[in-house]
Structure 1
Amino acid sequence: MVSYTTTPTVPPTIQRDRFIQFARGFSILTIVLFHYFRLAPLPFFVSKAVQLGGTGVHVFLFLSGYGLSLSRYRDWGSFFKRRFVKVLVPYYVGIVLIFGLNLWLHIYPDGINELLSHLLLYKMFIEPYTRSFGGHFWFISTIIQFYLLFPVLIRLVERLGSVRSMLFAIAISLAYSLFITYLGKAGVRVWNSFFLQYLWEFTLGIIVARNQLLPALLKRPWYVYLVLAMLGISITAGLVLKGGQTGQIFNDYFAFVGYVCACVVLYRMGNVVTGINTFVLWVESFSYSLYIMHMVPLSIYLTFYPQQRLTIAIIALIFVAALGLSLLFNQGIKRLLNTSLFKTS
């Protein structure tokens, strides 16, 4: 077994940095609201603005690369055990619970074949299964691909250095985007969620962590982030409005910059305005559980009230229900992972 210990270039406290936690919590909030509001009748420009919330998944991928690079493991065996227990156990429990609920309420047109595609991890290769039980589980397939690739990526960054490995990752992601656009597959989930599409942001997370860049980046004046946020969001909007499906697949770079900078601005505001950071950090404490379960209350509502419009008040009630359900699920998962069967350290 190949030994693996990342160089402790960053103090352990940075791994738990409040901004990283804030960014994770902010990301899940915008993802959930994106999934909810995209089904609501909104004015044209508002509906387009809501789509920026989906950029939170890109930040999750960046944070995954960042966090893994700060971690220490005895060998690759312990690395994979810890990673897959942390990700797959909640996912498997969640999907089985959703499957059981679906047998009772019939909120999804999915059955045992779709369940098996999740449990055996082949749904990421079969398009009809990628959207089963809510559709948002594509992200877990992508992050699993990155976990499998991480031993190769970390060695690549060590060998090429930060600049060359970042340029290499961007080139690969751009080439893949061009390839699937040429094939006419840009709107097909099994193609546009493949890890090569997001290689650049996962690699960026590795580089930022290994070079201790985050503290320096966060010291920039707030107005720099405000300008970059406005610029990134404006370019993204232009690509979405004028570029169609092709524009959307190439806007990740600008959306990522705009989204992260907006996140920094909001984080700094939260240091002054009481309650913002507290709420976002609270949500972060069960963010993965919220991601797994947040579509269930919405799907139940849409099943039993299909003709009723999704108003802001109804979305707020669904959101509160999602928080409650996710908290219960998170507590159950914590107890399960604390049993001897799943202890990883």
Structure 2
Amino acid sequence: MSEERVWNSFFLQYLWEFCLGMKLAELYRERPSSLNIPKWKYLVPTCVTAMAMTGIMGWAGFPWKLYNDIPSLIGYTSLALIIYKAGIGIINRFFCHTNRFSYEWYLVHILVFQVVKHVAEGHVPVTVGFAMCLFLSYCVAWGYGKLWSQKVQKK
């Protein structure tokens, strides 16, 4: 719905997430031992429950969709901790590498998704289009990150 677009895009609604992330980073930097990763028996049910709530709230639409950030944050954080705790080196290295340009990915992903949708819709299956969106947005973000870092280094 277009009338909820203003609320979905209003920065104050999401500012708390950035502030929380900065505070957790500060805590971790000062006292790494103060942030302990929970045990599996807590992480898995928390992840499943929070992701289910995120989906249900998004599916329910306005106004529930406006407030699904908290369960989304909990679900995705739990999922990230599960992946980290699994200790699969190549996957952990992939996420650490991706973290270097995750902000750039955030900036370009909608543009890439819209271009792929416009060009590929009706020509490829939805799953192929989705895979194209992920792959191309990842590559564009990586390139954008490289260009940006070169520009910053020149200054």
Per the shorter chain, which TM-score range? 0.7 to 0.9
57, 81, 93: which one aligns with 1:239: 57
Asked whether 1:311 is paired with 2:126, we answer yes
Asked whether 1:330 is paired with 2:145, we answer yes
Q: Distance in 1 between matches of 2:149 and 2:40?
A: 37
Asked whether 1:195 is paired with 2:11, we answer yes
Q: Which amino acid aligns with 1:202?
A: F
List runs of 5+ in structure 2 lacking aligned partners: none
Q: Distance in 2 between matches of 1:209 and 1:322?
A: 27
Q: Distance in 1 between matches of 2:137 and 2:18?
A: 28
Q: Distance in 1 between matches of 2:140 and 2:21?
A: 31
TM-score by length of 1: 0.38
TM-score by length of 2: 0.74
Q: How does 1:210-225 map to 2 (within 5 A)?
A: 210-212=26-28, 215-225=33-43
TM-superposed CA distance for 1:328, in Å, is 2.8
Q: Distance in 2 between matches of 1:217 and 1:275?
A: 24
What is the match of residue 18 of structure 1?
none
What is the match of residue 256 of structure 1?
73
Counting aligned pairs with the same residue, the percent is 22
Larger Rg: 1
Q: Distance in 1 between matches of 2:25 and 2:80?
A: 18
293, 296, 319: which one aligns with 2:108: 293
Q: How does 1:17-96 map to 2 (within 5 A)?
A: none
List runs of 5+ in structure 1 lacking aligned partners: 1-127, 129-184, 341-345
Distance change in 2, residues 1:324/1:253 (3 Å): closer
Q: Distance in 1 between matches of 2:121 and 2:109?
A: 18
Q: Distance in 1 between matches of 2:12 and 2:80?
A: 25
What is the match of residue 280 of structure 1?
95
Q: Distance in 2 between matches of 1:305 and 1:206?
A: 39
Q: Distance in 2 between matches of 1:255 and 1:231?
A: 10
CA offsets per residue over residues 38-91 of structure 1, 9 Å max, x none?
xxxxxxxxxxxxxxxxxxxxxxxxxxxxxxxxxxxxxxxxxxxxxxxxxxxxxx
Distance change in 2, residues 1:234/1:214 (3 Å): farther
195, 204, 208: which one aligns with 2:20: 204
Q: Which amino acid aligns with 2:145?
A: N
Q: Distance in 1 between matches of 2:77 and 2:100?
A: 20
CA-based RMSD of the aligned residues comes to 2.9
Distance change in 2, residues 1:236/1:319 (3 Å): closer
Q: Distance in 1 between matches of 2:22 and 2:120?
A: 45
Q: Distance in 1 between matches of 2:56 and 2:136?
A: 35
TM-superposed CA distance for 1:245, in Å, is 0.9
Q: Which amino acid aligns with 2:34?
A: A
Q: Distance in 2 between matches of 1:210 and 1:320?
A: 32
TM-superposed CA distance for 1:264, in Å, is 0.7
Distance change in 2, residues 1:312/1:274 (3 Å): farther
CA contact (8 A) 1:208 1:214 kept: no
Q: Distance in 2 between matches of 1:325 and 1:199?
A: 26
Greater RCO, 1 or 2 (C-alpha within 8 Å, sep 6+): 1
Asked whether 1:228 is paired with 2:43, we answer no
Identify the structure with the greater helix proportion.
2
Distance change in 2, residues 1:279/1:207 (3 Å): closer
